[in-house]
Each structure stands twice: as C-alpha cells, then as structure tokens.
Amino acid sequence: MAFSRTGWNPIGGQSKKGTAPALWSYTSTDAIATVNTAAYFNDVSDEVSVRDVILVVDSNTPTAHWVNVLSNASGVVDVSDGTVIVETDGD
C-alpha cells in the first residue's frame, strides 16, 4: 500500500528542525518491509530530517518498530530497516 497521512503524528513537542532529532509515530496496516522501502515517506519529506526517529506500528500484526531517517534528498526519504520493539508479558 501507500503512505497514509491519517496514521502520521508527531510525538510530544517537536524539536527545532535541524537542531535535534524529532519523534514521530506512524500507524498503518502495511508491514515493516513495505514501510522501510525507500520513498515510502516522501509525502512528509518537508517535515522529517535525517536522524529523526519514527515509531512504526503495524496494526494488522500487531508489531512495532523504531526506524531512523537515513536520508532525505530532493524529496526522497529513506529510513532504516527498523528495530523491533519486543512486546512480552511474563505474568
């Protein structure tokens, strides 16, 4: 599928662009393998900077991953593969 702005949200008070990484959340039915594809986040290229962090939640699985913006040049955004957030409940 494609990026959907309805799942895109800032987390907390956003830092000044370019002075510190910003945190974002993104919820989608897309798997992380789709979301971490280069150009997936092009619709928000004017909002994200290199090193920004995005919490990606797959509402189908459900799983969550942290991804970093690796590059943002000429409107093309590329993010890292993602680090899974392990969800356990030992009780």
Per-residue pLDDT tens for 52-88? 999 999 998 889 999 999 999 999 999 999 999 998 8
Q: Residue 44 pLDDT > 90, yes or no?
A: yes
Q: Is 61 inside a domain boundary?
A: yes
pLDDT band of 18, cuts 50, 70, 90: low
Distance linking the first and last C-alpha atoms of the chain: 37
pLDDT by residue (tens digit) across 31-43? 999 999 999 999 9
57: tokens are: 């939640």
The domain containing residue 25 runs over which residues? 5-13+21-84
Residue with tokens 């986040």: 41
The confidence score (pLDDT) of residue 14 equals: 67
Q: Domain for residue 91, yes or no?
A: no
Does some domain include residue 90?
no
- Please state, in angstroms and as integers, the Cα–Cα distance from residue 64 to each residue in 20, 83, 88, following that order: 23, 8, 12
pTM: 0.91
Q: What is the DSSP annotation of 8-58? A: EEE-SSPPPTTTS--EEEEEESS-HHHHTSTTTTGGGTTT--TT-EEEEEE
| Count of the separate structural domains present in the chain | 1
73 within a domain of the structure (yes/no): yes
